[in-house]
Amino acid sequence: MEWRSKYALNGVLLYVVSTVFVCFLSFVSIDKITWNALFWIIMLFASINAVAKSFLQESKGRQLYIYTIASPLALIVAKTLYNVMLMTVLTCIALLFYSLVFGLVPRDLPMYFVAALLGSLSFSTIFTMVSAIASKAGNGGMLMAVLSFPLVIPVLIVLIKLAKNAIDGLDRSVSLDEIATLLIVNVMAGAVSFLLFPYLWRD
Amino acid sequence: MYKNWWKILGALLVVYASIAGIAIPLRPGIENIAYGKLIPNQPLEVTVNGYNTLFADDAKSLEFYLQDETQLLKAVAVQPLNNQQAKVTFNLPAAFHNSTLHLIGTSANEGVMSLSEAVIVDQEMVNRDQVLRKDELSIEQDKPKHFSFPYKQNLYETIRNLFFHVPMWFAMIVLFGVSVVYSIKTLSTNSEIDDMKAVQSVNVGVVFGILGIVTGAIWAKFTWGQAWSFDVKQNFAAISLLLYFAYLVLRNAIDEEQKRAKISAIYNIFAFPMMVVLLFVLPRLSDSLHPGNGGNPGFNSYDLDSHMRLVFYPACLGWILVGYWIYTLLFRVRLLEKNNNL
């Protein structure tokens, strides 16, 4: 369904690539901590842009149409899955391009990759639900930012820590705590949004 | 009257905890000491400055000891200058086992007071083979002589803040919990009254949260040196308050009442687990200056002695009850306002 708005997808991709490039032009050389922080900032804004579209962009009429043909649970599952896939692809491309441009590869690349994947997963589950809430509330973009930032900050903190461990090439058992926390947060956010979405959707 | 027993109980407990928390004195302690150079086999004169002590009144039973891991050196002469100051003389041995010595004082009326790492021994005077009188080592940590709070280095009188700072957070969490319960109810019943209850309890909870941050900042200013020490718990508490400010902003953004009730209830339920993660899970993962996190011992292990418990638990219960009471009052005011408008 979202495949129709392919231009939007390409737009987000272009957004990521150009942000990375702008960052490169302004920083040129960069130390590890800034590298990490920058990556997550870029990912955060890219994912807000990408995922917010899932509900905010749809017109009233189209929502009504979807409402008649699909159950709310199916809808939220589909939207979340789509966003997870979208974010995964986006993250991979961004990570590839990012490390290519800056010429800096984390010491424990698989671990960093896991962190990036977990990050995209949690961004997409949280933002999907928040964008649904924001779209229902009517006052789009501003509300989206206000609602989602406090929700996402804890996840972001854990992610940055995990990613930092991966960059420094610490032993993997050190990061298990963070991975577990992230998974729990994801499962929780997912479960709550699946439970609550039907109430939200019923107008 | 009988129906409102918990309000009276809450108010009484808060009054009790506030008065007891401020009025009960600290146990005597040794604030700091001054001493000259340590010379082997020579007497060492130490000037001891006490806090809340009665050196002069207790002169007869007053004794001082220097302690390292293997020996307990008793002072040969104790001469109180006044109640807060005493001159103490030790006959030093040829060497000590450790490079830092603890100073311990005892008296019949006041019990045991100590200053850890009080005296630093020059490297030449440290002898690891020096092992003396292992048997005589312990001084009985007997019960405090009167009802008092422990004296702690770098906490001093601010230990009383425990009775105000911590209960604020408990009250806040209970109120947010109440709000989530009513939010869930709102979703299933669609009633405006449940929604109103949810909002009012968040309002009161936010006020308690702000009080908690402010009392914490005052405490931090004193003990850590800076009001905002960028401690993880401080930051996360601020973020979780932001979460609830976002909830209030969300409510203002929607005009239609039914829709507002539903959407904000959903956000509230979404936000609560996040707050729990912020306040209880994440601080355990990283270092914090707060007790109980990142390797710091918790209050339970040694700070919270039996006398403090007698004030601390009533304070928590009292503030929770009073918080709940304020919320019911606010709710009833809002309800009356609404009925007036109709």
Q: What is the pLDDT of residues B57-67, one digit of tens each?
A: 777 778 888 87
User: Using one digit for the tens of pLDDT, what is the confidence trace for B299-314?
Assistant: 444 455 677 778 888 8
Q: B164 and B130, same structural domain?
A: no
Question: Is pLDDT of B294 > 60?
Answer: no
**Can you give the pLDDT at residue B86?**
85
Position B138 scores a pLDDT of 57
Task: Give chain A's contact residues with B (Cβ, < 8 Å).
Answer: 129-130, 133, 136-139, 143, 146-147, 149-151, 153-154, 157-158, 161, 177-178, 181, 184-185, 188-189, 192-193, 196, 199-200
User: Where is B104: in which H helix or E strand?
Assistant: strand B100-107
Q: Which domain holds residue B314?
A: 157-341
Same domain, B178 and B247: yes
pTM, 2 dp: 0.80
Q: Is the dihedral of CA B171, B174, B178, B179 positive or negative?
A: positive
User: DSSP secondary structure string, B202-237?
Assistant: HHHHHHHHHHHHHHHHHHHHHHTSSS----HHHHHH
On average, the pLDDT of chain B sits at 81
Residues B183 and B78 in one domain: no
What ipTM does this complex have?
0.78
> Given a cut of 60, is residue B297 above it in pLDDT?
no
Q: Which residues of chain A lie closer than 8 angstroms to B261, CB-CB?
A: none
What per-residue confidence (pLDDT) applies to B139?
A: 57
What share of chain B has pLDDT > 90, as a percent? 15
Query: Quick one: pLDDT band at residue B25, thresholds 50, 70, 90?
Result: confident
pLDDT at B286: 66
pLDDT-derived band at B208 (thresholds 50, 70, 90) equals very high
In a domain, B307, yes or no: yes
Inter-chain Cβ pairs, chain A and chain B, closer than 8 A = 81
- Helix, strand, or coil (residue B98): coil
Q: How many domains does chain B have?
A: 2
Residue B103: burial class (beta carbons within 10 Å; 0-12, 13-18, 19+): buried
Q: pLDDT per residue over B96-116, tens digit each?
A: 877 888 888 887 777 777 777
Chain B residues touching A151 at Cβ < 8 A: 243, 270-271, 274
The 3 state secondary structure assigned to B280-322 is: HHHHHHCCCCCCCCCCCCCHHHHHCCHHHHHHHHHHHHHHHHH
pLDDT score of B178 = 93
- Pick the more confident residue, B74 or A30: B74
Nearest by CB to A178, which of B250, B271, B285?
A: B285
Do residue B277 and residue A137 have CB atoms under 8 angstroms apart? no
For residue B93, the domain's CATH number is 2.60.40
B23 belongs to a structural domain: no
Whether B104 contacts B64, CB under 8 Å:
yes
Q: Are residues B126 and B161 in the same domain?
A: no
Q: Is residue B166 located within the same domain as residue B110? A: no
Q: Is the pLDDT of residue B48 over 70?
A: yes
Same domain, B195 and B319: yes
Q: Which of A124-128, B108-112, B207-211, B222-226 has the highest mean pLDDT?
A: B207-211
Domain boundary among B75, B105, B136: B136
In a domain, B18, yes or no: no
Residue B8 lies in a domain: no
B58/B196 same-domain check: no
Question: What's the pLDDT at A5?
Answer: 59
Mean pLDDT of B312-340: 90
Query: What pLDDT does residue B288 have?
Result: 64
Query: Could you tell me which chain B residue has the CA closest to the CA of A153?
Result: B239
In chain A, count H helices and then E strands.
Answer: 7, 0
User: Which residues of chain A have a pLDDT value below 70?
Assistant: 1-8, 54, 56-60, 139-141, 203
The pLDDT of residue B296 is above 90: no
Would you say residue B142 lies in a domain? no
Q: Is residue B124 part of a domain?
A: yes
Report the pLDDT value the prediction gives residue B176, as an integer from 0 to 100. 93
The mean per-residue pLDDT over the stretch B53-81 comes to 80
Residue with tokens 């947010």: B176
B215 in a domain, yes or no? yes
Cβ atoms within 10 A of the Cβ of A99, count?
17
Q: Which residues are registered as beta bridge partners of B216? A: none
Residue B132's pLDDT band, with cuts at 50, 70 and 90, is low
